[in-house]
Structures are given as structure tokens and as C-alpha cells.
Structure 1
Amino acid sequence: MLTSDASGVCVICPTPFTPDGALDERSAAAMTEAYAAAGATGLTILGIMGEAPKLDAEEAMRLVRVVLKHAKGLPVIVGVSAPGYAPMRALAQRAMEAGAAGVMIAPPAGLRGDDAVLSWLQGAAEAVAPAPWVLQDFPQATGVTMPARVIATLAADPRCVMLKAEEWPGLDKITTLVGLMARGEMNRIAIYGGNGGIFLPEETIRGADGIMTGYAFPEMLKSVRELILAGRRDEAMDLFEAHLPLIRTEHQPGLGLAVRKYVLTRRGIIAHPTVRAPGPKLSEATRAEVDAMLARLARRDPVALKLAAE
């Protein structure tokens, strides 16, 4: 089960599809094994970048089962966010019975005011009980802002074990939450950054316990965290800055998932770059730009060397 002591790199997994849009279970298995081999300490599926709203209930459970089968014991978090409690309850129950470690919940768009946000999320927590749950704080996507005091209130639920902190700017919120926990004014929960890894060094320095994102080179995420925690910040920043152009390109709203799937295909982690319709496709010009970034990255990070020969 997922606990508040979690740390490390939890990779947000895309959902692989074949060129005709069918769920690609073979790629899902290979992807899961590749992430485990890359040093992931956990996996998250059916998140915002997992195209969850484009899957029906049975497809979602097929993906859950494939990932759990190939996760090599890593904890798997399943996104269950939905506008209402009934689908959340159903998916959470089935996922936990299949062996998931916990679920992730983001509030729906349209909630206004702290009382409304608290009420809805407390109801959601009851709906997914008894599963441990991750609170996703991502106002850029949901339009819902949660001040630190709201998060502290939600953390009073012992099953709320992790925050995926994606408000932007959000570094001061991380500092505030870490301080509240240090002073005993808030229950301990794990804090994981997100946002494509774009603030990974700063989040780590501010006290985040890990990173939960789907950047196409999770090996870098792991190495940068380890270097910073070992006090080798210059080495960490050299490695991180080599990846920044690609991180930035992957982070584009709308197009970013197509870029990420293209890079994962180039890496051999998934077989096809398909984004299920409706979704974007990369133009030839964009693919050429990404290829150029990968070629440059290969000169600075040995993990990307394989791509240089292709």
C-alpha cells in the first residue's frame, strides 16, 4: 500500500495505442518494464497525461491489469478522477482489488471557494475508501486553487498520503507545507513535484520527497534527485540543463503528450506514438525539431546515446 513515507521517482505512464487507436497492451507491458529498469520507485496510470477520459471502463481495467502484472513489485497508483463519485468508487474498488497501491484524485473544474473544494474532496475520499489516496493540486488544468491550509485540512485524513504539487508558481507552497509538517501543524504526507519535471531541482531543494511526472527520460529525474541529495548541485544542474529544451517542448499544453509519445517511440519504450482521437499529431517540422534536440542531448547524456545512431 502507498504510504506517506514514499520517495523517489514515480513515473506518470502514458496509455499506449496502436495506429488505429486500440489499446496497445504489448506496449503497455514493455513500457512498464522499461520504467522499472530505469529506476522508477513507482508508477501512475490513468492520469491527465494518460488520456483516461478517452478509455471506457473495461479498457481502463485492462491497462491496470497489464501494468500491475509487469511492474515488478513497484507501487502502482491509479488515477480515478471523475466529475462524480460513482465512477470514482467503481474504478478505485476494482483497481485496489487488482493490486494497486493507491488512487489519485484531482478536483473537477468549476469548484469555487475553499469550503466547496474541501467538501467535494472529502466526499471523494469517502467514495474511494478504504484506498490510500494522492491529492493532485494542478490548477492550470482544473482551474481549482487549493491554499496550503486546505491541503493541511485534507491531510488530516490518514488515507491522504501524498500531494502531487503542480501549482505554478508553487515552490513557496511546498516550503509552506514542509514547514507546517516540521512544526507538527499538519499530518505528514509525501510531496511529489510534477509539471513535466521543469522545477525538479528547486522542488528537491525545497524539501519535496519525489517527482511524479512522465518526462521521457526518467533516468535523468532519478539522477538529478540523487545528485542534489548528495550535495552535488553543479553536476545535477549540468545534467538537468542538458534536458531542459526537451522538457520545455514536452511541456506544451495540448501538444506535449504527442511529443512525449514520439520520444518514447524513438526510445523503443512504446511501439507507436498514437494519441487517441481527438488528439494532436506532430508536424514534420516539429518532429525534426525534436530529433535535433535528441541528437544534441545524446552528446551530453549517455542515456540518449542510442538515439544518436538511429
Structure 2
Amino acid sequence: MTDSDALFGANLVAMVTPMRPDGTISEPGLAALVDHLLATGCDGIVVGGTTGESPTLTDAETARLVSAVAAQSENQARVIAGVGTYDTAASVRRAREAEAAGADALLLVCPYYSRPTQAGVVAHCVAVADATELPVMLYDIPARAGIAMTASTLIELAGHPRIRAVKDAKGDLFEAMSVMSQTSLAYYCGIDELNLPYLACGATGVLSVVGNIVADRNAELIRAVRVGDLDTAQAIQRSLIPLVDAVMRTSPGATMAKAALAELGIIPHATVRLPLLEAPAQHVAQLRDALAMLRVPAS
């Protein structure tokens, strides 16, 4: 086990937020999903991230989710709370609420929409990291944030004692290797399509949407890379291509992960909140075919 495994886990899942047909949070669905994630080898559960529909969750809902997941996981998995927004004061408040609710770590997305300077990104991240005693994982996702965390920004932020990791959804493998070579930041792949390349380049683990469905396969992939069994790792990644394609390249990942979990009987409903819509029939059909190819058993 690495130091980063102890802080965040290695096989992390960006957990969806189960909802009833009326859009309220489904507590039975949440409990069943957490049981499923723990049973399939997830050792880090991200609560209230983008896949959890963070833009449409209230602060109170996010804190309640963190508290419920922390209580149920009983230290079997690290609970990482998504607290980032485009408002530094709001992000600081969410970080403190997450700490009080029992989170083990924080996930801090690059401030989006406002398009701050890199100096502003640094100041934002430092303010949130200074707000609690929890370790922080930065989330670099320029496709959603509108800007990237540059290599120099990541290197500067690595000097903060509580900023310990990066969820990289940028896809620049050379930059990732460069930052890893110059810092002690642990990297987690945030692009399911590239889990194997990131792990092979030195990433500690994955932070996966598809892991909602097949965290056990991701665990096998991580183990194979760590022991140097590239043939097995390649076989696992190839077997996951149809599912990754169905979940990540059709409707939004949160929508498709919920559809898959509902298909498998793990959560009762595939409800999402607007502006997301439930998956159309053709996307669900592709998803069913992918699940059948993997022979994922229903709950």
C-alpha cells in the first residue's frame, strides 16, 4: 500500500447520486450502491462530484450524502467529498461542512466558468486547502472548467502540505509524467478511456465513472499493472472497451452510469436532475449489449 492509498485509496469511484422519480435523494438506493461499491473492491468513494450531479445538489444534500456514506463504509473505503465551485468562499464553506460530516479527503475542481488567471487558481486552491485538516486532491478538467491547471501551477500547489494528489482529466500524458517527476503528487486517471495508459505511466490509481458498475475490473487492472503483468492489464482494458464506450461516449456519464446500475437492479431508478435527461432508448440498448458482453450479474 502506498501513502496515497492510505489517504485516498487506489480504486476510486465517482459515485452517482441515486434519486427517486421525483428527483429527491433515494436513501435505499444510496445504501444499496455503497454496499455494491464496497463489495466490488472500491476503496475510495467520491461523493458529490460531477458524476454525483454536484451542480444540482444543495449544500445540505451534499453534507448528508457524505455523512451517510462515511457511516456506511465504516473505514472500508476513503470518503472523498467534492467541494469545488467557482466561488472560493462557497468552496471553503463546503470543505468545512464535508470535514464535519466525516469526509476523509476533499476533491477540489479547478474553478470553472470565471476563467481566473493561474495565480487566481493557486489562491483559490490554497484557500480551500487551508480551511480544513483534510488531504486535498486537485481535479484538472479543462473541458468542463474552461481552463486547465498548468504544469507550473500543479508544481506550485504541490508545495502545500495538504495538497497531495491530482485527478487528471486533461489527457496530456507527457505533462502528467513531467509533474510526477518533479513532485510527490499522486496521480489518478479521471478518463476511463485512458486508465491503462495512465497507470502504466505511473498513476497511483483511477477515479472512475465506469467503476460504479465494474469496480472489480478496475481493481484487477490496477493490480495487474502494479505487479508488471502488462498482458493481463491489456486484456482487462480491452474487455472494458464496449462498456466504457457505452457509458462515456453516448449520453453524459452520470446518466449512463445510473442507467447501468438500474439495469442491474442495484439502484431502483435511473432518475437524473435537469438539465440532465435520462438516457434515450438507443443508448440504453448499447449499454445492455455492453453489459451482456461483460456478463455483469444483476444484483
Q: TM-score, normalised by structure 2?
A: 0.91
Determine what percentage of the aligned residue pairs are the same residue: 26
Q: Deviations along 1:98-139, whole A, 9 cap, x unmatched?
A: 22111111122232443232233223333x333321110111
Rounded Cα–Cα distance in structure 2 between residues aligned with 1:8 and 1:85: 28
Partner SS, residue 160 of structure 2: coil
How much does 1:163 deviate?
0.8
Report the alpha carbon displacement of residue 253 of structure 1 after superposing the two structures with TM.
7.2
Match of 1:248 in 2: 245
Corresponding position: 1:213 with 2:215? no
- In structure 1, C-alpha distance between the alignment counterparts of 2:140 and 2:78, rounded to whole Å: 21
- Match for residue 142 of structure 1? 145
Deviation, 1:154, is: 0.3
**Structure 1, gaps ≥5 residues long:** 181-185, 299-303
Give yes or no for contact 1:5–1:190 (8 Å, CA) kept in 2.
Answer: no
Deviation track 1:40-64 (CA, whole Å, cap 9, x = no partner) reads 1211111111111211222222211
- 1:97 corresponds to 2:93: no
SS across alignment from 1:10: strand
Aligned to 1:97, the other structure's residue is in SS state: helix
Once structures 1 and 2 are overlaid, which stretch shifts more, 84-93 or 111-120? 111-120
Tell me, yes or no, if the aligned pair for 2:224 and 2:232 is still in contact at 8 Å: yes
Alignment partner, residue 115 of structure 2 = 111
Counterpart of 1:235 (choices 232, 236, 240) is 232
> Does the 8 Å contact 1:249/1:256 carry over to 2?
no
Give the AA of the match of 1:296. M
Unaligned runs of 5+ in 2: none
3-state secondary structure, aligned to 1:240:
helix
Q: 1:267 Cα deviation (Å)?
A: 2.4
Q: Any idea what SS the aligned residue of 2:11 has?
A: strand
Q: Report the CA distance between 1:38 and its aligned residue.
A: 0.8
**Of 263-272 and 115-124, the range deviating more from structure 2:** 115-124
Aligned to 1:183: none
Contact 2:67 2:103 in 1 (8 A): no
Change (3 A) 1:119 1:193: same
Structure 1 outlier segments of 4+, above 3 Å: 2-7
Structure 1 pair 254–286 and aligned structure 2 pair: CA distance change class (3 A)? closer
Q: What is the correspondence of 1:264-275 to structure 2 with a 5 Å cutoff? A: 264-275=261-272
Match of 1:132 among 135, 147, 150: 135
Distance 1:65 1:158, change over 3 A: same
* C-alpha distance in 2 between matches for 1:85 and 1:108: 8
Partners in 2 of 1:72 and 1:89 — Cα distance? 26
Equivalent AA in structure 2 for residue 116 of structure 1: G
Evaluate the alpha carbon distance shift between residue 146 and residue 83 of structure 1 in structure 2; reply closer, same or farther with a 3 A threshold: closer
Q: Which whole-Å CA distance do the structure 2 matches of 1:30 and 1:281 have between them?
A: 20
Q: CA–CA distance in 2 between the matches of 1:152 and 1:106?
A: 16
AA partner of residue 16 (structure 2): P
Residue 95 to residue 3, structure 1, CA distance change in 2 (3 Å): farther
- The TM-score normalised by the length of structure 1 is 0.88
Give the Å deviation of 1:141. 1.0
CA gap 1:32/1:277 in 2 versus in 1, 3 angstroms: same
Query: In 1, distance between residues paired with 2:208 and 2:253?
Result: 13
Q: CA deviation at 1:85?
A: 2.5
Confirm whether residue 192 of structure 1 aligns to residue 199 of structure 2. Answer: no
1:50 is paired with a residue whose SS is coil
Counterpart of 2:188 in 1: which secondary structure?
A: strand
CA-atom RMSD, angstroms?
2.0
Question: Which has the higher Rg, Structure 1 or Structure 2?
Answer: 1
SS of equivalent residue, structure 2 residue 107? strand
